[in-house]
Structure 1
């Protein structure tokens, strides 16, 4: 199984290297279109290799997708936390009731003519 994983990641690395070598040319990225840049007096441009632009775009898309999914699943996580707190509360109550039952059994057993059997409802 590990060998399959290493082969997969090796192929991914090879594809990224080929992508980088094929797209080494620099491109200019602008924050604003030309008319708006002249209007505001702020160009906000940079030159980066094309492969870096592609990889950053993919990484940004993944990040936005992860955050979106995390926000979408908030109600499920909140519901699970609420249910877990309820389970813990009920388990504490069960432990307390069992302890009370054991104490009553011992008292009944010590009483003259007492029995260890406890009537259950």
Structure 2
């Protein structure tokens, strides 16, 4: 059994248990309305269990936070791409210079031994 599977089990199973207990404890229905003008007869309203509202809110928060972090890191991704291109260019230039040196050495006459 790998360490990753063990770690997933040690964190995932208790988390799943807490989520199930949370859902069972918060089964009461609440009315979710998307009509700010009419509280008595909203045009768009849903009756859903409280745990659904809370879990969806948490998921939406995680998603928005992830997108915000990804967008903030854009300049670093661009910088990394620029550096990768530059490294590739320099590696190619280095290989070309090594080949040129090898060709130049092969063209030189062999050194004469002193008598």
**TM-score, normalized by length of structure 2?**
0.84
Match of 2:32 in 1: 29
In terms of mean alpha carbon deviation, does 52-61 or 24-33 score higher? 24-33
Any stretches of 5+ residues in structure 2 without a counterpart?
Answer: none
Measure the CA separation in 1 of the matches of 2:10 and 2:98: 56
RMSD (Å), alpha carbons: 2.1
Q: Does 1:18 align with 2:60?
A: no
**TM-score, normalized by length of structure 1?**
0.80
Q: How many residues align?
A: 108
Match of 2:10 in 1: 7
Measure the CA separation in 2 of the matches of 1:91 and 1:30: 61
TM-superposed CA distance for 1:56, in Å, is 0.3
Once superposed, which parts of structure 1, at least 4 consecutive aligned residues long, lie more than 3 Å away?
A: 1-5, 34-38
Any stretches of 5+ residues in structure 1 without a counterpart?
Answer: 116-121
Match of 2:50 in 1: 50
